[in-house]
Amino acid sequence: MYQYLLEGGNPKVPSFLFIHLCVLIKESLTKLLEVKFEEPEFEDCYIYDITADVAKKIVVYIDSDSYIDFRKCQRISRYLEQYIDEKGWLGEKYILEVSSPGLDKPLKFKRQYVKNIGRTLNITAQEGEQSKGVLKSVREDDIVIEYKERIKEGKKKRTVTRTKTIRFEDIEKTIVEISFK
């Protein structure tokens, strides 16, 4: 049935079937990647996100506690293509992209925060409050950022360094600021 849908079968087939197929593909790819991530070269890798759509485009975002480079993404892509082709999940024509999340994607996991200690973060809290500072530490339930603040003392202003603790549960979104220093 799914193969028929993928090969351009009846266009009046409800979209929920395509959505169900995308969910099944994402689950299958997740299982395949869990096996791949047991190999020594990939043991510190993890899935950031997988998207699949009815246009037969799959995007797999992977990250690592150490580094992600083109070669790792290429090897994972070939690994996944082998299974997708072997099982005929998407027919002959599909698009598979494997990459790291990139700096424009928000941090999702605590391990990503650890990797970014020393970098400037732009944080949006659940209530909408914005914070910006250098990530100083990552603890079990929260992070500590350091930021500069100008304060007025009489007629003079001076800059003070402050720290702020933000609980993970209060964070809506965190983006790493790109620095060209």
Average pLDDT along the chain, 181 residues, taken 10 residues at a time: 44 60 86 96 96 86 94 96 87 91 93 96 95 97 96 89 97 92 66
CA gap 80, 52 in Å, rounded:
14
In a domain, 23, yes or no: yes
Which of 99, 130, 151 terminates a domain? The answer is 99
Q: Which residues contact 66 (CB under 8 A, 6 or more apart)?
A: 44
Q: Give the per-residue pLDDT at 16.
A: 65
Q: Give the per-residue pLDDT at 9.
A: 44
Q: Give the per-residue pLDDT at 145.
A: 98
Whether residue 134 is found in the same domain as residue 68? no
Q: How many domains does the chain have?
A: 2
Whether residue 93 is found in the same domain as residue 114? no
Whether residue 14 is found in the same domain as residue 91? yes
Whether residue 119 is found in the same domain as residue 93? no
Whether residue 119 is found in the same domain as residue 40? no
What is this structure's pTM?
Answer: 0.81
Whether residue 38 is found in the same domain as residue 63? yes
User: Residue 120: which CATH number?
Assistant: 2.30.30.100
CA gap 62, 46 in Å, rounded:
6
Whether residue 153 is found in the same domain as residue 83? no
Whether residue 70 is found in the same domain as residue 7? yes
Q: Give the per-residue pLDDT at 75.
A: 97
Q: Give the per-residue pLDDT at 25.
A: 85
Give the distance, in angstroms, between the CA of residue 19 and the centroid of all CA atoms in the same chain.
Answer: 21
Which of 71, 99, 127 terminates a domain? The answer is 99
In a 10 Å sphere around its CB, with 0-12 CB exposed, 13-18 middle and 19+ buried, how is residue 77 labelled?
middle
Which of 51, 76, 99 terminates a domain? The answer is 99
Q: 144: domain range? A: 110-176
User: What does each C-alpha distance from 13 to 5, 149, 180 come to in angstroms?
Assistant: 8, 58, 50
Q: What's the CA angle centered on 169, arms 167 and 175, to 5 degrees? A: 80
Q: Give the per-residue pLDDT at 17.
A: 67
Whether residue 89 is found in the same domain as residue 131? no
Whether residue 7 is found in the same domain as residue 75? yes
Q: Give the per-residue pLDDT at 181.
A: 66
Whether residue 43 is found in the same domain as residue 77? yes
